[in-house]
Amino acid sequence: MTRRGLRLAGLALLLGLIVSVTPPAHAQKLFEHGLVQDPARLLPDVTLTNQDGRAVRLSELRGKWLWIFVGYTFCPDVCPTALADVAREYDGLGAGMFRVSAVFLTVDPARDPAERLKEYVRHFHPDFLGLTGSTEEIDRLVRALGARYNRRDTGSASGYLVDHTTYVHVVDPNGRLRARYPASTEPGKLAGDFWFLKGDKP
């Protein structure tokens, strides 16, 4: 083979290697419609209480993707609307639902005991997980998620409201925060970004 032929063969081999290690464009669009957490953040292994009254360490939930929404059951508007939207997105996963846990984390543990959480989350979807616990453990997780909340006295019959951020926080199966989706995210986009759970091409 001539020197020119060797150079062309080498170039072809190099191009082949580049193509083989570069993922397709659509594979690079993970969390395309969310706010990506870069670098991913490992969450603390807090101990909380689920809606059945059982103590749960966050590490026990590893192995699945988590969609965590922070709120409270007395929330008059944003929480019920957002959870109804999350339920639709969750159902939109189809067969991929078994690899995701949708979690409602209350920031009002004084008024949201396990039994109230159980009734509340099941109103939106039978698969949803409700979590409460001590203020200290809740706050550790809320800070790690980059969420915020603030109790505001109103003088009303309920006594107070809780202002809070309104994101669906996406945690990967290794317990790392990967992205946040605003409650205003266009319908279908959250579930659509989880195409890799639905048997679509990677």
Q: What is the CATH number of the domain that holds 66?
A: 3.40.30.10
Confidence at residue 8, expressed as pLDDT on a 0 to 100 scale: 40
| pTM, to two decimals | 0.83
Establish if 14 belongs to a structural domain. no
How confident is the prediction for the chain on average, in pLDDT? 87
**Is 56 domain-assigned?**
yes
Q: Answer yes or no: is 22 within a domain.
A: no
Query: 70 lies in which domain range?
Result: 28-197
Beta bridge partners of 160: 153
Name the domain count of the chain: 1
The band of 30, judged by pLDDT with boundaries at 50, 70 and 90, is confident
Residue 123 contacts by C-beta under 8 Å, 6 or more apart in sequence? none
Checking if the pLDDT of 18 tops 60, the result is no
Q: Which residue has the tokens 């790690």?
A: 144
> How sure is the predictor about 65, in pLDDT bands with cuts at 50, 70 and 90?
very high
The answer to the question of residue 87 being in a domain is yes
H-type alpha helices, the chain: 3-21, 78-91, 114-124, 135-145, 189-192
In DSSP terms, 105 is beta-bridged to: 70, 131
C-beta of residue 104 within 8 angstroms of C-beta of residue 141: no
